[in-house]
């Protein structure tokens, strides 16, 4: 991974996925603070095109919601296969979040005067 990028789950506290009924899937990306939430929103990495590519769905069907009060980004789209049908691999869509969690995002630039150290998930700012 290039120095200036990391993955979404290095910044988000949790990325989860679940069915919203048998025909739709919904993912929630939780952040601890407004800073991280705004940074990821403004980076535009979570876009209909990016979701469409990750999950092989039509970007026009992808719905993205910004919940500023909760610092959550929600992504919903129709399931490619109906839950419980022959081709279904994940009845509850419980494991599909790993694709979004692995999305490449830029590393947040350090505020001026900060000391950089190397951690197991890349650089971290003290």
Partner 1 sequence: MPTTSKESVKIIFPSGMLGSGFSEDLVSRGVEMGATAITIDSGSTDSGPHYLGSGTAKTAASAIKRDLRILLVAARHAHIPLVVGSCGTAGTDGGVDWVAEIALGIAKEERLTFNLARIYSELHSEVLVGALKAGKIRPLPPNDQVDTETLRSCEHIVGLMGHEPIVAALAAGADVVLAGRATDTAMVAAIALMHDMPAGPAWHAAKTVECGGQCSVSPRGEPGPVFVEIDGGGFTVVPLDENAACTPTSVAAHMLYENSDPFRLFEPPGVLDTSFATYTSIDARTVRVEGSVFEQTSQPTMKLEGSKLAGYETLSFVGIRDPHVLERIDEWLGSVDAVLHQRARSALGLTRDEYRFDLRCYGWNAILGSLEKETGIPREVGVMLKVRADDQDTATAIAQTANVLLLHMPLPGMNHLPSFAFVTSPAEIERGPAYEFVLNHVVEVADGSELVRTSMSEVSGA
Determine if 36 is a binding residue for partner 1 (CB under 8 A). Answer: no
Determine if 6 is a binding residue for partner 1 (CB under 8 A). Answer: no
Cα–Cα distance list, 36 to 16, 57, 61 (Å):
17, 27, 26
Instruction: Enumerate residues 84-113 that contact partner 1 by CB under 8 A.
Output: 84-87, 89-92, 95-96, 98-99, 102
CA distance 109 to 42: 13
CA 19 to chain centre: 16
Question: What three-state secondary structure class fits 61?
Answer: helix
- By CB under 8 A, name the binding residues for partner 1: 18-24, 26, 28, 54-56, 61, 63, 65, 67, 69-70, 72, 74, 76, 78, 82-87, 89-92, 95-96, 98-99, 102
């Amino acid at each position: 991974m290039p120095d200036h990028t990391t993955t979404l789950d290095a910044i988000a506290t949790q990325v989860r996925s679940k069915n919203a009924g048998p025909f739709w899937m919904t993912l929630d990306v939780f952040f601890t603070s407004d800073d991280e939430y705004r940074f990821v929103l403004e980076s535009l990495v979570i876009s209909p095109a990016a979701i469409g590519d990750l999950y092989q769905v039509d970007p026009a069907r992808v719905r993205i919601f910004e919940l500023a009060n909760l610092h959550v980004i929600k992504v919903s789209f129709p399931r490619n296969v109906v839950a419980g049908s022959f081709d279904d691999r994940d009845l509850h869509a419980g494991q599909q979040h790993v694709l979004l969690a692995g999305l490449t995002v830029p590393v947040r630039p350090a505020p001026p005067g900060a000391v950089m150290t190397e951690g197991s998930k890349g650089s971290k700012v003290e």
